[in-house]
Amino acid sequence: MLDLKYLREEREKLERALKNRGYSLDILEEIDALDKARREYIKRANELRARKNEISKEIGLRKKAGEDIGDLLEEAKRVEEELREVEEKEKETDKKFWELWAYVPNIPHESVPVGKDSNDNVIVRQWGEIREFDFEPKPHWEIGEMLGILDFESAAKMSGSRFAVYKGLGAILERALINFFLDTHRKNGYIEVFPPILVKPESLFASGHLPKFEEEMYRMERDDMYLIPTAEVSLANLHRDEVIPEEKLPLYYVAYTPCFRREAGSYGRDVRGIIRVHQFNKVELFKYTKPEESYIEHEKMVQDAERILQMLGIPYRVVLLCTGDMGFAAAKTYDIEVWAPGLNRWLEASSVSNVEDFQARRANIRLRRKDGRKEYVHMLNGSGLATPRVFIAILENYQQKDGSVVIPEVLRDYVGVDVIRP
């Protein structure tokens, strides 16, 4: 959630940010009307409370003087009734104001390129040699089914489309990736966390996923809880309503969780294989930092995610997202995309964002400076990494002419074999 200074003091910056993100300014007209009404109700309520106090004093004086107080009692009754009505309207308007303000996205950082969509993103760097094959590389679903490590037919019978069963060495490879990611990040100073994957609505509001992305999530209506779409939600709530001493920052966390997404807006896209599924595994990186250090920590987090792909020997590129392609809560985002030769395209394997104090305001997480001052922390999140796209990249980049797949060297102790053979 944004600081209200953008509505009242830095309006030009807010309007420019919304335009650059592709948002209509109509939302601000509604917010302005609610804000004006809210302040008028507050003003009127204060006037009525003041009159109520005056009447109370006058009643006391008249009683002492033995004078009639009937007219004051009548006025006091009218004031009390109006005050109740005004307070109710103020409460209702205040609720609507904050609900609408919660739909306003974060302000992009000045270094973010202005653009409409993914075509306007900027490739920052590329790593690794794109392999030249002496045969036609297959897509991962063909490789997985041929090796008996991916079973889409069984998954469809038990759960429907956009699910997969990992079998044998496929299941072992998936678990190997999770453990490798966790072990590597833990050695780099991240504290491992295994959080709940069912959360309350207020946790999703704190992370910025509610109310805007309600349709993208799976809700347990009976209990009013949600399956998390990412461990970012859980990690963003680790210190909710807390004040963290300055000297304890930055805090680094890493968590593995299964993630659940309805993919409501992607009908007909990437329906084959495990490119876009409803349930997947992901290792998430998360940081709580001082505001003045957050962009340094952002670059370091990108490098931490890159290091995994370098160790796996998978070609990738880092892409700086433009204003129109960034997520709702982000002030700046880098995507890390892996090369999939069987698909002949780049696939996003990680998204690393600095949300500045956007989530901290929703979650009420502040830091205490050494001089006692309090301010909101900056919060960062990033995939380190999501397993499906990395699994795809391994199968497609390391496939051999005989149908086998070579296991990257750093994973061999985890998997127990050097090659998966037909």
Report d(CA 253, CA 289) in Å as an integer: 12
Q: Residue 123: which H helix or E strand, with range? A: strand 122-127
Crossing angle of helices 387-397 and 140-147, in 10° steps, is 80
Q: Which backbone phi and psi does 324 adopt, to 5 degrees?
A: -80, -10
Q: Contact at 8 Å (CB) between 183 and 198? A: no
Where do we find the tokens 């380190």?
Answer: 384
How far CA 378 is from CA of 90, 137, 190, 305, 351, in Å, comes to 32, 44, 17, 19, 17
How far CA 239 is from CA of 253, 298, 405, 416, in Å, comes to 12, 20, 43, 39
Q: What is the sign, positive or negative, of the torsion defined by CA atoms of 320, 322, 323, 327? A: negative
Q: What is the sign, positive or negative, of the torsion defined by CA atoms of 230, 409, 392, 156? A: negative
Q: What is the sign, positive or negative, of the torsion defined by CA atoms of 261, 264, 269, 272? A: positive
- Who's near 1: CB < 8 A, 6+ residues apart? 101, 102, 104, 208, 358, 361, 362
Report d(CA 383, CA 337) in Å as an integer: 12
Where do we find the tokens 């007909």?
Answer: 268
Positions marked catalytic? 261, 276, 348, 351, 389
Longest dimension (CA), the chain: 109
Strands 165-166 and 150-151: antiparallel
Where do we find the tokens 């504290």?
Answer: 191
Report d(CA 327, CA 343) in Å as an integer: 25
How far CA 340 is from CA of 214, 398, 417, in Å, comes to 31, 10, 23
Six token digits for residue 88: 């109710």
